A and B are shown apart, each in its own frame.
Chain A
């Protein structure tokens, strides 16, 4: 049973436009959500997180939105840059430090 789902395996976006990556979860006990960026053969790089008491968190070009009623979160990257091309993972935690990961979405930024 996948508790964290990223239904889009890949996404292609024009440079300069907005990239929107989506993530759905099923466990209502999750209270902390994170987005990571990952290149092949490297460890994940933390991008941004949000706790369940918030519905939005912004850091530079990255904004995460959380809709608790829909059990949905999204990562917005604007403007998208070529260096943003990577696999993006959504992860969730239920206060026990164990992260449950989505399957990832490969983001391709076209010049």
Chain B
């Protein structure tokens, strides 16, 4: 079945540094990728939607200069957390629509801890 490979699965970084999270679609082309974040014991919140060949669409309240999203190809979307701060520590998940039994395929998630 359709698989979205997300890396890294976990990362610890120092405040002020940048972290890149990659999501690759395997065996299918993902023209759209949704990026979510989840705080402990809370729901998944949509941050932005990346589209291959055009600018990402950000949800209200999400800083586009801080969370850089690039949909470089039909199989790769990246989220870069720039100048990370401890409050950016969260669980980030990507999802490609139109695949899988539910119509959505999720990456395995990235646990970001900023110290």
Identify the A interface with B (CB < 8 A). 9, 32, 34, 36, 41-44, 46, 49, 89, 97-99, 101-104
Chain B binding surface SS class: strand
The contact of B43 among A41, A43, A102, by CB within 8 Å, is A102
Most buried by A among B9, B45, B104: B104
Report the Cα distance A83→B101, complex, angstroms: 21
B interface residues, how many (CB within 8 angstroms): 27
Report the Cα distance A101→B49, complex, angstroms: 15
Please indicate the chain A residues that have their CB under 8 angstroms from the CB of B107 in the complex.
Answer: 43
The contact of A101 among B32, B41, B43, by CB within 8 Å, is B43
- The chain A residue with its CB closest to the CB of B93 is A43
A58 to chain B, nearest CB (A): 14
Determine whether the beta carbon of B91 is less than 8 Å from that of A103: no
Q: Does B28 contact A (CB under 8 A)?
A: no
The contact of B106 among A44, A97, A98, by CB within 8 Å, is A44
Please indicate the chain A residues that have their CB under 8 angstroms from the CB of B93 in the complex.
Answer: 43-44
